Amino acid sequence: MGFYVKVEPGVRLYVEELNPEGREAILFLHGWPASHRMFEYQFDELFRLGYRCIGVDCRGFGKADKPAGGYDYDRQADDILAVVQALRLENATLLGHSTGGAIAVRYMARHGCGFARLALCAAAAPSLIRRPYFPHGLEREAVEKIIAGTLADRPAMLRDFGDMFFFQYKTQPLMEWFFQMGLEAAGWATAAVAQVWLDEERLFADLGEIRVPTLIMHGIHDRVCHFPLGVAQHEGIACSRLVPFKYSGHGLFYDEREKFNAELARFAAGR
């Protein structure tokens, strides 16, 4: 069932919910530049196991409204709070992939309500790029190139990004499906979120504010959010567990989807 949740005047997020009466609820936050549909193969399996699956299209992406602004992590965390309140979530699991993981970290530090567990997969935290005090991640110039490519030839940029997303071989139809998801986003939103990667530095402090059990899943071949980011998350979150995915890149939810689904199902059930 799909519906919209108003998060501020003139802005609605699109929400897809499967099995509203299911047992444990999992709210999925997608990565850049996709939508909740990237978790199709998690919804298929977890729905069958009886979980309540809630996918959210963040502002600017998928079927969500696409305003001119509001793409910083504070505003996006506030957007998620509006969804949590609308659905009256309690004791749920919040899962975030890549940029969705960064938003999830900010949400837990800024609000925290509604969720008893946090799952981070290939999360863009505490920093997607290298900084003088953080020697991991992409070079700043690589992100600047993504922004320039978005504004000059977004389809070409998306093709290049898709080529580095997965580690294992993927069929051409699946890559086309992933490419089309990226095209659903607004160009201005795609560029604005990439700019946030350059500007945002408060996630380092946010990690220390997280007090719920946290599952960190990260592909060791990730070319977008390098594996040391997962290590830094584990070091920064007191009650966390890091699970390396030895045969995965950034798209670990598909590269090793059976392992991913099993880990997430156990975690969401409190095991």
Mean pLDDT of the 155-159 span:
97
pLDDT recorded at residue 20 = 87
Catalytic residue among 65, 97, 98, 127: 98
3-state percent breakdown (helix, strand, coil) of the chain, nearest 5: 45, 20, 35
Q: Is pLDDT above 90 for 170? A: no
Band (pLDDT 50/70/90 cuts) for residue 23 is confident
Domains in the chain: boundaries: 2-268
Q: Percent of the chain scored above 70 by pLDDT?
A: 100
pLDDT recorded at residue 127 = 98
| Residue of 22 and 191 predicted with greater confidence | 191
The alpha-carbon radius of gyration of the chain (Å, integer) is: 17
Q: Is pLDDT above 80 for 271? A: no
Q: Could you tell me how many helices (H) and strands (E) the chain has, helices first?
A: 10, 8
Band (pLDDT 50/70/90 cuts) for residue 22 is confident
pLDDT recorded at residue 169 = 78
- Rounded Cα distance between 17 and 20, Å, is 6
pLDDT recorded at residue 124 = 98
Mean pLDDT of the 246-251 span:
98
Q: For the chain, give the mean pLDDT.
A: 97
Band (pLDDT 50/70/90 cuts) for residue 113 is very high
Q: Is pLDDT above 90 for 15? A: yes
Is 248 a residue of the active site? no
pLDDT recorded at residue 42 = 97
Q: Is pLDDT above 80 for 91? A: yes
Mean pLDDT of the 224-253 span:
98
Band (pLDDT 50/70/90 cuts) for residue 105 is very high
Fold of the 2-268 domain = Rossmann fold (3.40.50)
Q: Is pLDDT above 80 for 1? A: no
- Rounded Cα distance between 201 and 196, Å, is 9
Is 98 a residue of the active site? yes
pLDDT recorded at residue 93 = 98
Is 234 a residue of the active site? no
Query: Residue 118's closest CA among 206, 18, 10, 222?
Result: 206
Catalytic residue among 57, 65, 222, 255: 222
Catalytic residue among 30, 36, 136, 250: 250
Mean pLDDT of the 2-14 span:
97
